[in-house]
Structure 1
Amino acid sequence: MAITEPTTGLAGDKPVLLLVEDNDDMATYIKACVQDDYQVLWAENGQTGIELALEKVPDLILSDVLMPKKDGFQLCETLKNDQRTSHIPIVLLTAMASVSDKISGLQHGADGYLAKPFQREELTVVLANLLQSRRLLQLHYSRLALGNQADNALDESLEAQFLHKLRSAIEGQLDNPHLSIGDVCQLIGMGRTSLYLKMAALTGMSINKYVRSLRLSRARELLLASTLNISEVAYAVGFEDPKYFSRVFSKEFGITPGNFRLLNRG
């Protein structure tokens, strides 16, 4: 059974940039610099920025340091220690350009530091590089999500902990053909939109695709190591229709379940 994915309320294919800046003129200038390449959300203070980040889970955050209610350092520390947003690259933007200021920002979890005044090209390159680095990490996290032990052994980040928790929760329900995204959210204690957006950002996979990948991976293990027949394997991994299971398995691995068993078990 397919898991219905939530909508995010954001349209288009452009990455989402959350701008947290209390100066109207600076915010207007930055939006003009990046609006061709990003969907821009704007928060006028650090507290609103935190709330908007948790609600929308943007692809990037550009935040001023000196702001009312919560400053940029507090925003960094809060979001980098929350499993819903810990993966989001954060660039701090400030007139405080000393080495100690930059070190402080990095210690609070910032991924980059941009000193005012800055050139438009400098801003766009910094953001583009961080976004590209995040995309390259998707390969690592997609492997980790599917249980690659080498990747798992080298990563103790919040992202790795989140993926391990998610995988364990779903694997405990693989024989349930009616597993829903609501069930998954309840198991890991995360909202639907936050889960969908974080999974997409980390691995490039939807929850639906991820669940199916885990089901098929487990089916392959059962075909190799158990005496269950094809129908029993299908039921064991949550497929109610063995014929449909065979079609999906063949599409995923390029071979039918029966032939896979014959070729790999002799």
Structure 2
Amino acid sequence: MTESILIIDDNEDILDFLSVVLGGSYKLHLAANGEIAQSILDKEIVHLIISDIMMPGIDGFELCRLIKSNVEYCHIPIILLTSKNTYKAHIEGLEVGADAYIQKPFSSELLQVQIANLLKNRRKIKEHFASSPFEDVRVMAHSKTDEAFLKKLDEYIKANIKDPNIDIDMLAEHMFMSRTTLYRKIKSLSSLSPKELIDITRLKKAANLIARNEFSFYEISKMIGYSSQSLFSRNFQKYFKMTPNEYFDSLPRE
């Protein structure tokens, strides 16, 4: 999947320059001001934001503050660009939640490395969560808001884990979000679809039950909402790269 970057700057030359520098590696969305940026965030999955600070209307600091306080977008890393060469501006950028702060004029190489590092760190966390049987969903949280969101989502799935029909509509109703907003949030935060997140939550519960060694694989598949043991075994291997039997054999014995 090509990651997408939202670039916000009222200077057309900067937008053109960044389009040339980043266009070959990422899907780009361009906005001349905060209002346009908001409408893009409401429609698209965005993995990273680059914003100028000095803009008419909503400036970069205020935009950063708004994004980081909104549960729908607060997980998105933000790089602020500024011509202000002062500690006060740098501190203010960090206080409103910016993940990186780059002074103009800047080297395109420095910007590319910052972007790559932020996205790589997010990817590593997502991959670790998806492939580790015991890793908690909150490992993917990048803020207290994200942590509360993931905890509420996780608790609902676990409370209804025996139901084979849990779907995105049930999740959206519980989270008081529209279906599309919830899909964007989960996909951007975890790189998983809501269905995949539900599957992984089921399988992590299964890993816990296998470790307890109290139930057969057939019983466990029913307890976590699978209609068949073979489907359970296939999905377990798909995510954890081993069968339930291999997983059981790998566990330490007292």
TM-score with structure 2 setting the length:
0.81
The partner residue of 1:192 within 179, 194, 198 is 179
Q: Which stretches in structure 1 are left out of the alignment for 5+ residues? A: 1-12
Cα deviations by residue, 1:56-109 (Å, 9 ceiling, x for unpaired): 231111111122221111110111112221111111112222111111111111
Q: Is the 8 A contact 2:129 2:135 kept in 1?
A: no
Does structure 2 retain, via aligned residues, the 8 Å contact 1:141–1:160?
no
SS in structure 2 of the partner of residue 85 of structure 1 = coil
- Structure 2 residue 74 is the aligned partner of structure 1 residue 77: no
Deviations 1:35-62 (A, max 9, x none): 1111110111112213322432311111
- Once the two structures are superposed, residues 125-182 of structure 1 have per-residue CA deviations (whole angstroms, 9 ceiling, x without a partner) of 2222222232233356558996549969x98732222221111111121111111111
> Which of 71, 90, 100 is residue 112 of structure 1 equivalent to?
100
Residues 144 and 103 (structure 1), Cα distance of their counterparts in 2 relative to 1, 3 Å cut: farther
CA RMSD in angstroms comes to 3.5
Task: Report if the CA contact (8 A) 1:137-1:202 is conserved.
Answer: no
Q: Which amino acid aligns with 1:238?
A: G
For 1:195, give the aligned amino acid: L
| Percent sequence identity over aligned pairs | 30
Contact kept, 8 Å, 2:9 with 2:31, in 1: the verdict is: yes
Separation in 2, partners of 1:120, 1:44: 20
Residues 175-254 of structure 1 correspond to what in structure 2 (within 5 A)? Answer: 175-222=162-209, 231-249=218-236, 254=242
Paired residue type of 2:63: L
CA–CA separation in structure 1 for the residues paired with 2:44 and 2:131: 25
Equivalent in the alignment of 1:132:
120
Q: Specify the code of the residue in structure 1 equivalent to 2:166.
A: L
- Quick check: 1:26 aligned with 2:53? no
CA gap of 1:23–1:70, structure 2 versus 1, over 3 A, is: same
Any unmatched runs of 5+ in structure 2?
none
Q: Does 2:2 align with 1:52?
A: no
Q: Distance in 2 between matches of 1:250 and 1:131?
A: 27
1:65, 1:73 within 8 Å by CA — same for their partners in 2?
yes
1:141–1:202 contact (8 Å) kept in structure 2: no
**Residues 1:250 and 1:15: Cα distance change in structure 2 (over 3 Å):** closer
Q: TM-score, normalised by structure 1?
A: 0.78
Match of 2:79 among 91, 101, 118: 91
